[in-house]
């Protein structure tokens, strides 16, 4: 087995996830089988119950994992689906160690971080790596964090057992007042990493501007590295350019040399280069509003934003996205929406901002503006239709009004009386049957599609006939569960219960977003 371990220094949110994804793409472009593992040192079992303001979006894998958003980056760059096994948390390994102890697996031994916890971490990583040529492992957090220490120790031990490459991503600030790049924070970060027992094989220097020759020499000297192993990762216009930045400095060559991997085939980044060129080349512009409730944090809608980038590249349309606070719409009305050509009503949980989203839905329906509702967005399209088209006064979702006289959205039977919140929703991929002759069927061009879910509430079939008779078409189903609704008299008015953004990829843009952008630009 061969591994690339990626650690972080100085501060978080540097882009370790993008670096890991880019390294994975470069290695895969050589014909190697590559996968990526994200280790999160927090004690949560998974990301499912975490606040979007603290953690960003919860990315859902096809096998039903509620994971860190970096798994989304990995899927998009590798152009393949990953498993919930690719996201390891401290909560998972600590829980399993305790369960093993309770079962007597350790035969009465004193259970310790080393070797019992670190052995389990290594076991989990190797389990994922078994069928791959190279496994990239991103260790979340920053060197020096207490919670990261067991994972760094496991990574150190794996260097003694398996062919391993250590890549340290660290912050190199540019101090404008003196016009100088400062290397000292990274020097201290590398020193801390070496104290733990890990000597990095390469350094990725994240910063606002490219490294100067002097800064590169200083970083190489104090990191005990050759100059070619210090890679400048300065800011770029979009994250999909990062693989070219790393490739141009020979990072993948360095990794393959250290791991002793022969080149399987010449590097082929042509499809990726074509995609990036189309992202940057759109002449026409269209403004799209995402109406949500976590708009202060763009990462809360990361996959949704990226899905629009993929669709923009496919259609040749430049997209400008505005994040509109649903609570603001409750206070000010729909005036903030007037400059947008398309509306996406995003998912979410809790009653805050619900009436603002319903106002946005009504605005899009009545004004003929292309409108796409996702998960909660689809449910609120149903509520708005029930109230304003069917005339069902007080219609609502049971989630927000348990005593509503018209529960057009109700809880799934298996979701009632749950004792635990984590990993108990309807989660992951399911095969969705599309109705022939509908817009959604024409966009996909297939009878059945696989899409991912994350919800507890569902369309109430007791109201199915009323909706159908009034012109709202139920256009997709899983068994008897309603998966999509649309209004044929509108230019583009579709609500889907699933999350299409999770399965959109740069080289496989999602047809719903492509169709939505075309309609928004009247193509």
Structure tokens at 165: 């490459």
Indicate the SS3 state at residue 214: helix
Q: How far apart are CA 125 and CA 104, in angstroms?
A: 23
Catalytic residue chosen out of the listed positions 55, 116, 441, 499 = 499
Q: How far apart are CA 66 and CA 47, in angstroms?
A: 6
Q: What is the DSSP letter of 41?
A: -
Token match 């999509």: residue?
484
Catalytic residue chosen out of the listed positions 306, 410, 501, 510 = 501
Q: What is the DSSP letter of 508?
A: B
* CA distances in angstroms from 38 to 17, 23, 220, listed in the order given: 8, 14, 27
**Is residue 15 within 8 Å of 71, Cβ to Cβ?**
no
Q: How far apart are CA 162 and CA 175, in angstroms?
A: 40
Indicate the SS3 state at residue 458: strand
Is 499 annotated in the active site? Answer: yes
Is 116 annotated in the active site? Answer: no
Q: Residue 458 contacts by C-beta under 8 Å, 6 or more apart in sequence?
A: 409, 410, 411, 412, 481, 482, 497
**Is residue 230 within 8 Å of 219, Cβ to Cβ?**
yes
Q: Which long-range contacts (CB under 8 A, 24 or more apart) does 56-59 make?
A: 56/297, 56/299, 56/300, 56/302, 57/299, 57/300, 57/301, 57/302, 57/303, 58/454, 59/302, 59/303, 59/502
Catalytic residue chosen out of the listed positions 116, 375, 455, 510 = 375
Q: How far apart are CA 522 and CA 342, in angstroms?
A: 10
Q: Show which residues are catalytic.
A: 375, 499, 501
């Amino acid at each position: 087995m061969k591994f690339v371990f990626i650690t972080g220094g100085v501060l978080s949110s540097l882009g370790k996830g993008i670096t890991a994804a880019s390294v994975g793409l470069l290695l895969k472009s050589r014909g190697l089988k590559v996968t990526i593992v994200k280790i999160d040192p927090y004690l949560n079992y998974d990301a499912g119950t975490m606040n979007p303001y603290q953690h960003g979006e919860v990315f859902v894998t096809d096998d039903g994992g509620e994971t860190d958003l970096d798994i989304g980056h990995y899927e998009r760059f590798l152009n393949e689906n990953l498993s919930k096994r690719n996201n390891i948390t401290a909560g998972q390994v600590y829980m399993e160690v305790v369960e093993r102890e309770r079962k007597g697996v350790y035969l009465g031994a004193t259970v310790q971080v080393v070797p019992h916890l670190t052995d389990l971490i290594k076991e989990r990583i190797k389990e994922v790596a078994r069928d791959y040529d190279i496994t990239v492992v991103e260790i979340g957090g920053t060197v020096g964090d207490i919670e990261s220490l067991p994972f760094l120790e496991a990574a150190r031990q794996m260097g003694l057992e398996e062919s391993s490459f250590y890549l340290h991503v660290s912050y190199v600030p540019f101090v404008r007042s003196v016009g100088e790049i400062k290397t000292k924070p990274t020097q201290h970060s590398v020193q801390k990493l070496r104290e733990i027992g890990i000597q990095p094989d390469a350094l990725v220097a994240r910063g606002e501007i490219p490294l100067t020759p002097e800064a590169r020499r200083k970083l190489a000297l104090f990191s005990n590295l050759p100059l070619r192993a210090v890679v400048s990762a300065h800011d770029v216009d979009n994250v999909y350019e990062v693989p070219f930045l790393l490739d141009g400095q020979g990072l993948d060559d360095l990794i393959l040399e250290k791991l002793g991997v022969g080149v399987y085939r010449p590097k082929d980044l042509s499809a990726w280069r074509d995609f990036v060129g189309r992202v940057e080349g759109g002449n026409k512009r269209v403004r799209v509003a995402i109406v949500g409730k976590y708009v202060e944090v763009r990462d809360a809608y990361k996959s949704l934003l990226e899905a629009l980038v993929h669709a923009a590249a496919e259609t040749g349309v430049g997209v400008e996205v505005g994040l509109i606070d649903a609570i603001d719409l409750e206070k000010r009305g729909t005036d903030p929406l007037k400059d947008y050509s398309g509306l996406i009503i995003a998912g979410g949980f809790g009653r805050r901002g619900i009436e603002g989203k319903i106002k946005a839905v009504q605005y899009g329906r009545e004004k003929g503006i292309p409108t796409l509702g996702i998960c909660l967005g689809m449910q609120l399209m149903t509520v708005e239709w029930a109230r304003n088209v069917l005339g069902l006064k007080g219609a609502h979702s049971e989630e927000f009004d348990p005593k509503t006289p018209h529960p057009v959205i109700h809880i799934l039977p298996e979701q009632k009386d749950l004792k635990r919140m984590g990993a108990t929703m309807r989660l992951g991929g399911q095969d969705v049957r599309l109705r022939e002759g509908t817009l959604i069927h024409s966009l996909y061009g297939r009878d059945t599609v696989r899409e991912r879910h994350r919800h507890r509430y569902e369309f109430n079939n007791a109201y199915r006939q009323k909706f159908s008779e009034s012109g709202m078409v139920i256009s997709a189903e899983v068994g008897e569960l309603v998966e999509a609704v649309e209004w044929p008299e509108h230019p583009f008015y579709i609500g889907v219960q699933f999350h299409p953004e999770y399965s959109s990829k740069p080289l496989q843009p999602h047809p719903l977003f492509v169709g939505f952008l075309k309609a928004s630009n009247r193509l």
